[in-house]
Amino acid sequence: MAVRHQLIERSPQQVWTVLAEPARYPEWVVGVAGSAPGRGDWPRVGSDLRYRVVLGPWKGDGRTVVRRSEAPHLLELEADSGVLGTARIAVEVRPWGEQDSLVIVDEHPLRGAAGSLHNVAVDAFIQIRHRSMLKRLANVVERSAPRGPAPGQPHS
């Protein structure tokens, strides 16, 4: 089971703003080069993104479909990496205190080679990937969204 979390020093709505922008995925998703909206209005259920998957020397086309979307707190995706198979990726955004968010990513292989070959080594790889991905997400969100004053504090 590959579950990882990251504290992001911005509100859940500010995190969601980045998650809801298809063009920003290559900025924080590890292994994705370029992205373009496919069908539907991202991140509505059934909408998808198309992108290039890059894992070392291997390159292929990928597609991610929204399976569940509850703004600004939950985005569940099914990522299809072609011959590698598909994976369920849940991104949960919880309020943490008055201004921050705790982002939890839970990824599990579903179909194809990814599902058949799933083991502890694969989970370890996913954990390393998620550590980098969540740090990148935090950087993107924190760079793109100004930090507001704490509730009850005057604006300066």
Tens digits of per-residue pLDDT, 8-43?
Answer: 999 999 999 999 999 899 899 888 888 888 999 999
Domain spans of the chain? Answer: 2-144
pTM of the full structure: 0.86
Q: Which residue has the higher pLDDT, 81 or 114?
A: 81
β strands within the chain, DSSP E:
2-8, 32-37, 48-55, 58-70, 74-80, 86-96, 100-111
Q: Which fold has domain 2-144?
A: Alpha-D-Glucose-1,6-Bisphosphate; Chain A, domain 4 (3.30.530)
Residue keyed to tokens 């998620």: 130
Q: How confident is the model at residue 119 (pLDDT cuts 50, 70, 90)?
A: low
Cβ atoms 102, 96 nearer than 8 A? yes
pLDDT at 101 over 90: yes
> In whole angstroms, how far apart are CA 137 and each of 15, 29, 65, 117?
8, 8, 19, 28
| Amino acid occupying residue 134 | L
Q: Are 98 and 151 in contact (CB under 8 A)?
A: yes
